[in-house]
Structure formats: structure tokens, C-alpha cells
Amino acid sequence: MGFERVVVAGGAGFIGTHLCRRLLDDGAQVVCVDNFATAPRSGIRSLLTRAGFTLVEGDICRPVDLDGPVDLVVNLASPASPHDYARLPVETLLTGSLGTHHLLNLAQRTSARFVLASTSEVYGDPLEHPQRESYRGNVNPVGPRSMYDEAKRFAEALTVAFAGRTGLSVGIARLFNCYGPGLRPDDGRAVPTFIWQALHGQPLTVAGDGSQTRSVCYVDDIVDGLIRLSASSHRGPVNLGATEEITIEELARRIRSVAGSAAPIRYVPRPAEDPSVRRPDLDLARSLLGWEPVTTLEEGLARTVDWFRALAEPPAVAVGGPEVDLRRTQPGEVVGGTV
């Protein structure tokens, strides 16, 4: 199933830019909606010259009004780094609630399929390992990560409720830790932080004793999973992530090795309620979508380190840019100024 015109909310973000590029390569017209609250404007620049690409600068917490047909709406809009959602707690919650509702309404008006990019954070600090989609999670609703966790949990509940009332075709993907070219060096998550530190001879700051585990998945594989879910009729939720589980300390050591760095490892206090383990059960993704990651950790880290080497300095992040009402647009139009 091919897509003719796709709306990608959060399309200027890390995963969003990769998804927009893949959709354009597949022949779709893409409308990218973003307010650049956390996305660097430089990340979207190469897409502006692509035929079929439209940038709409605005906030999905306002109604989304677009002209023309749409056959897929993908909601990737949300701060995703702990640094960002701690800085923007209310905005994160409103994006997951009001923003998701506005995008669901857009999908209903245009008879489009709606796909929500949720997160493994809905499992919290899991008591089940690996995490299956049936696991209800261990989340503190008023904890230091609650603004992100609960925004995504509410977005999932709203998506299912909306579909039940309207019959809208929806899909929910729970994305586990994702990395690759395009991550901000100042993102705050482990992979970009370790790479930037290793390349600049700075100590790699490992939280706690580094024994907590993650399963990091290369961005191209995540995008492929999103495309497969979008092209299906499955509602989900479906886990998308890597199955190789690695401690944070070992991840730091591997990145240091790939970067050819002799930087030391420095242990720093572990953030409150930092999950101890994280690994997806992929049985559903395999059976429903025929999907599993194909990029090895070594391959993915090498590509990501090469991308970071080319950066002279961390790109400036435009935070709280000009507010622009979402309005009717024409293909190829850039709304809200150039990038």
C-alpha cells in the first residue's frame, strides 16, 4: 500500500526527518508539521528542496486545518529527551492530549489512517522483562518523568477511544530507545552524549554504576517499522525496538571504541526513577508486520559516529520560535518563515 499524501507531526525532529525522507523516497507527498520547540531548524533544511515536501510551522495544540486529501497522519510530535520534557512539562502533556486530539480530528475529516508514535516509557521501570504489549507498566503518575510517560499513556487511551467511537483506522507503535545520525549532541540521552564526549576527549558520564540496561535501535529500522504499521490495518500497540540488551557502561565502552577515543569513563549520580531494564518483546512485530531490526549495533554506531564527526559544534536549537497558526497550505509552500 503506497501513500499519496502524508502528514507527519513532529516531522522536523530526529525520527521525523528520517521518516519524511523515507516517505519522499517512496513517492509520497509529505506535509511536515512542527513548532521547532526542540528540533534544530538545520535538520529539515535538506528536505525543503525536495519535490512534494511542505513545511507547516505551528503547534498541534491548535486545530490542524489543511487543504486537500490526506491518507496517513503520523503523530511523532513531543519532546522526547528527558532534558527537553523536564524543561517543557506542561507543553509535553498538552501535546500528548490536545495535540493528539487535533490530529485524530484531522485524520477523521480526511478519512486517513492515524498512527501514534508512543514509547517504551509507558512501561515505566518495568517489573516484567522483556516487555510485552500486554504488560500494563510500572509508572509513577507524579514522578520526575511523569509528564512524558503520562502524556503518551493518555495519547494511547485517546487514540483507542476515538477509534472506538468513530471507526477511524489507527495504529500505535511503542518505540524503544532509538539512535542514529541527526541526534542533537545536547539531546541528553546516552548515545549522543557518549559520542560527543568520546570525540572531544571528554569523560564519558555513566549514570550510577552503569548496570542498567537498554536496547538501542537504529533509526532506519524504526522508520521501517512505522511504515509497515502504517501500511497495515493493525491497531497495536506494537513494540518497535532492538532485542540486543546492553548495559549503559558497556554501551559507553563500545562507543568509545568505535570513536577511537581514549577518554575515561566517569560515574555520575543516577537520575531518579531511571528504569533499570528495558528490552522489547518483538513477537507481535514479527507476526503482524514481518518486522525486526536488521542493523547491528556496530553498524549503527559507526554510521552515527561518522555523522557526529562532521559536526563542527552542537547545532543551535531554536526553542520557542514564532507562533504561527496552522492554516491551509499548498504543496511546496513553507509556512512560518524559511529554515
Kindly list the catalytic residues.
148
Phi, psi of 42 (to 5 degrees): -65, -25
Q: Residue 257, Cβ neighbours under 10 Å: how many?
A: 12
Tell me the β-bridge partners of 115.
74, 171
What's the Cα-to-Cα distance from 169 to each of 103, 162, 177, 318, rounded to whole Å? 13, 10, 26, 34
Dihedral-angle region of residue 175 (phi above 0 means left; psi in -120 to 50 means alpha; beta otherwise): beta
Distance CA 133, CA 287 (A): 13
Q: Where are the alpha helices (DSSP H) in the chain?
A: 14-25, 82-87, 89-94, 100-110, 146-166, 190-199, 219-231, 248-259, 283-284, 297-309
Distance CA 166, CA 181 (A): 38
Q: How far is CA 271 from the centre of its chain?
A: 21
Whether the upstream peptide bond of residue 237 has omega within 30° of 0, thus cis, is yes
Q: Residue 9, Cβ neighbours under 10 Å: how many?
A: 29
